[in-house]
Amino acid sequence: MELRFLSVATVTLLSAAIIAGGCAQSGITTQPLSDVTRIELTDNMSRSPKVISDPTQIKSIVEFANSYRTKWAKPFPETPIPVFVANFYDGSKFLGHFGAGKTFFETQCQDDFCSQKVSESEIKEFLRITGESEAVLERP
């Protein structure tokens, strides 16, 4: 009886470790954004996007997003949903996105979504270079 209990406990612990290990990954590096010709800024309410086509502003936003290529994680149990998103395009081709919530950035990594916790000043800088008000973070 004691041996059976030990086997069940061992299998349960190993299963939990495998599941937890497979659901949360960290240290992920994303591919750099390039060839961006247009950025659409939107919120999580799917309101009409603000379109940025000015090459100088695009360069600034792309450089900012690319400066966060490392330290991404696939959190368990799920990635937080950003309330403000910059969608990147080359013409009509979607290249990816970079979003923000009150305490995190979120992006695509491989075939999934990743996030990383950031400071309030980093969030404010992202909003500043996109021309967005901090009020966007207060929307439902």
Domains recognised in the chain with CATH numbers? 26-138 (3.30.1490)
Look at residue 50 and give its three-state secondary structure: strand
List, for residues 42-53, the tens digit of each pLDDT value: 987 777 899 999
Walk along the chain (140 residues) and give the pLDDT tens digit of each residue: 554 544 444 444 333 333 344 446 777 888 899 999 999 999 877 778 999 999 999 999 999 999 999 889 887 666 688 999 999 999 999 999 999 999 999 998 877 888 999 999 999 999 999 999 998 888 66
CA neighbor of 109 nearest in space, from 25, 36, 28, 23:
28
- Inter-residue contact 69 to 29 (CB < 8 Å): yes
- Regarding pTM above 0.85, the answer is no
Cα–Cα dist 83/21, whole Å: 28
Contacts of 132 (CB under 8 A, 6+ apart): 41, 84
pLDDT recorded at residue 73: 86
